[in-house]
Structure 1
Amino acid sequence: MSVSWQSSSDPDPVHVTGLGWGLVFVRGIALAALVFGGLFVLLLLRLIERPLFGQKRPATPYITQFVCRNAFRVLGIGFYSTGTLMRERGAVVANHSSWLDIFALNARKRIYFVSKAEVAKWPGIGWLARATGTVFIERNPKKAVEQTNLFEQRLKADHKLLFFPEGTSTDGLRVLPFKTTLFAAFFSEKLRDFMFVQPVTVIYHPPRGEPARFYGWWGDMDFGPHLIKTLSILRQGAVELIYLPPVRVSDFNNRKSLAAYCEAKVHESHAKALKRNLSNE
């Protein structure tokens, strides 16, 4: 993941109390057991699933969904969503604020992330991403046909793909312009006639007394301190997913019009939810 977006103000300092460190230890152990225990079961089941079903994964996505749903219980973070899940074949596009987005979007819907190829080489995270079926792509025009074929294979296997069109995470207080590059693959002759895209807004409600950008992860922020901060809060906030109506790719003239439409819908619902957030502080 690229973390190139920079805030005009420095990240809030991390202060952990004695009780907070206790929570870090207890929640950290429980979260690690949940994630790696789930991964172990997934890999065992995949040994049976792969030779029988190939690209299709009729069982293992439920393990990922179970782990992600229960991760929020371990963290003490509230989780809820509104809107109807897309049933058509296609992709989900969402704004991006934090590493917590991965848990949130997997918790509600069985999806497969699309990520840049470099992530596959990241220690720990790359291993988890590969095990859960992440689609790795190279932002190279010469790879366009190859990547379109890969998307087609995954979509025809009834995989819902997830893109973060902003290309970076933010502080959660804004929606950046959607990059149009990845939308181009949707308009290939092999995909556009059957493919739908569903915009999704991710909004974080901070713990009481904490800044609105509490859960945001951006710029040069390290994962470790952000994880510790998240684990150490006694009374957590919540994450909300807003599923907006899906649209048919063939109803749009090109990638720019589709990206602009999705951006506008996500931006509109994000602004409304953020305004509600701030009015409740």
Structure 2
Amino acid sequence: MSVAEPHSTRKRNTQRPVFDPDRLFAEESRALQDTFLDRLRARLRAGALLGWAAAGCVGQGSCLLMPGKMFRRFPLFFWSVACRILNIEVRTLGERAGSLTPRADKRRVIYVANHSSWLDVLVLGKVLPAFFIAKQEVRHWPVIGYLTFLGRTIYINRNRQEAGQDVENVINQLRKGYDIAFFPEGTTSKGNGLLPFMSSLFAIAKPVRRPGEPKADDHPSCIIQPVTVAYDRLEGLPVGRHRRSFVFSWFGDMDFGPHLMGLGKWRSMRATVMFHPPIKPEDYPSRKALSNAARAAIEQGSEELRQNRLQDTTHS
């Protein structure tokens, strides 16, 4: 089948040729470079990233013994260096709602973002002073599991029986004054669209109460800030659907090692993080409505970034 199908003699609903850019590439083709220098670059970067991860375990462990906020500052530094090793430039758009110091209104910030790759943790970890929520399996990953543990990642189970306890564990961190970040899609995607959001974790901002049950006085007041992450430049050029899916995205049964090696062959990349205006949970009647509002903001931002409709503003 050709990429552009000619007009048939029969009447059709449209008078334009059918064009599908994805037909230009087979899914097996990963759009990767494969010269000797590319392979060497990938090996050096993978080795440097592994060495830095080991050093990060020692660094974060030491910071936990120090007074003050060093254990919260170190992850920002760690992920910044990790992005530099892979030569990922991080561009930020909009204003982040939270910081290491409390907000004037004393509200905690819950960041919710789209999820297409393990790279999202590096990119968001560089710009978000927050504790991440991750699935329980991450805790047992070599090196990364221990590093996320030291970084105070909150691990949750996916079974419904323990959902209530998971939410309570997250709320306890909010009570201590920490901001939280999580991926409501629950898993990674191809990066060209959003998966359905799971509204259950939005209970940390909008607890479920039975009719007639009084509001909990000790529940921290929160705001939700939707965040869009898009990988929009590869060696200075705009990223299309195919390369977004098979260079940056990590989904399905992809192995981590080959994906890292393939990514490391490219000389430079850019990720854009868009901070949307915060939304207040009390303005929505249910967790589902709150989840839908966050998803709509992230989806609109994702579409704008994929179509390169926004100008450069801030780089970090």
Instruction: Give the TM-score of the pair, scaled to structure 1.
Output: 0.85
For 1:33 and 1:75, locate their aligned partners in 2 and report how far apart those are by CA, in whole Å: 13
Q: Say whether residues 1:63 and 2:63 are aligned partners.
A: no
Name the structure 2 match of 1:227. Answer: 260
For 2:121 and 2:190, locate their aligned partners in 1 and report how far apart those are by CA, in whole Å: 16
1:271 CA drift (Å) = 0.4
For 1:103 and 1:30, locate their aligned partners in 2 and report how far apart those are by CA, in whole Å: 15
Q: Say whether residues 1:36 and 2:47 are aligned partners.
A: no
Question: Gapped runs of 5+ residues in structure 1?
Answer: 1-6, 50-56
Alignment CA distance shift 1:187-1:30 (3 Å): same
Alignment CA distance shift 1:12-1:192 (3 Å): farther
Cα displacement string for residues 185-228 of structure 1 (whole angstroms, at most 9, x for unaligned residues): 32224476611111000000242477233211111111001100
Name the structure 1 match of 2:96. Answer: 85
1:168 CA drift (Å) = 1.2
Larger Rg: 2
Which deviates more, 141-150 or 214-223? 141-150
Identify the match of residue 35 of structure 2 among 5, 14, 17.
17
Which deviates more, 31-40 or 245-254? 31-40
Alignment CA distance shift 1:185-1:63 (3 Å): closer
Alignment CA distance shift 1:29-1:117 (3 Å): closer
Q: Say whether residues 1:217 and 2:228 are aligned partners.
A: no
For 1:147 and 1:120, locate their aligned partners in 2 and report how far apart those are by CA, in whole Å: 15
Counterpart mapping for 1:1-281 below 5 A:
10=27, 12-13=29-30, 14-49=32-67, 58-87=69-98, 88-188=107-207, 189-190=215-216, 194-208=221-235, 211-213=243-245, 214-234=247-267, 236-276=268-308
Cα displacement string for residues 237-276 of structure 1 (whole angstroms, at most 9, x for unaligned residues): 2000000111111111111000000000000010011011
Would you say how many aligned residue pairs link Structure 1 and Structure 2?
264
Which deviates more, 267-276 or 154-163? 154-163
Give the AA of the match of 1:181.
S
Give the AA of the match of 2:37.
L
Give the AA of the match of 1:130.
F
The two structures, once aligned, show a CA RMSD in angstroms of 2.4
Which deviates more, 219-228 or 193-202? 193-202
For 2:259 and 2:281, locate their aligned partners in 1 and report how far apart those are by CA, in whole Å: 37
For 2:93 and 2:221, locate their aligned partners in 1 and report how far apart those are by CA, in whole Å: 25
Give the AA of the match of 1:212.
R
Name whichever structure is richer in helix by fraction. 1
The runs of at least 4 aligned residues of structure 1 exceeding 4 Å deviation read 189-193
Q: Percent identity?
A: 29
Alignment CA distance shift 1:48-1:192 (3 Å): closer
1:70 CA drift (Å) = 1.9
Instruction: Give the TM-score of the pair, scaled to structure 2.
Output: 0.76
For 2:56 and 2:163, locate their aligned partners in 1 and report how far apart those are by CA, in whole Å: 34
* Cα contact 2:108–2:220 (8 A) shared by 1: no
For 1:116 and 1:98, locate their aligned partners in 2 and report how far apart those are by CA, in whole Å: 14
Cα displacement string for residues 10-52 of structure 1 (whole angstroms, at most 9, x for unaligned residues): 3533553200122123222332333221221110221345xxx
For 1:92 and 1:135, locate their aligned partners in 2 and report how far apart those are by CA, in whole Å: 14
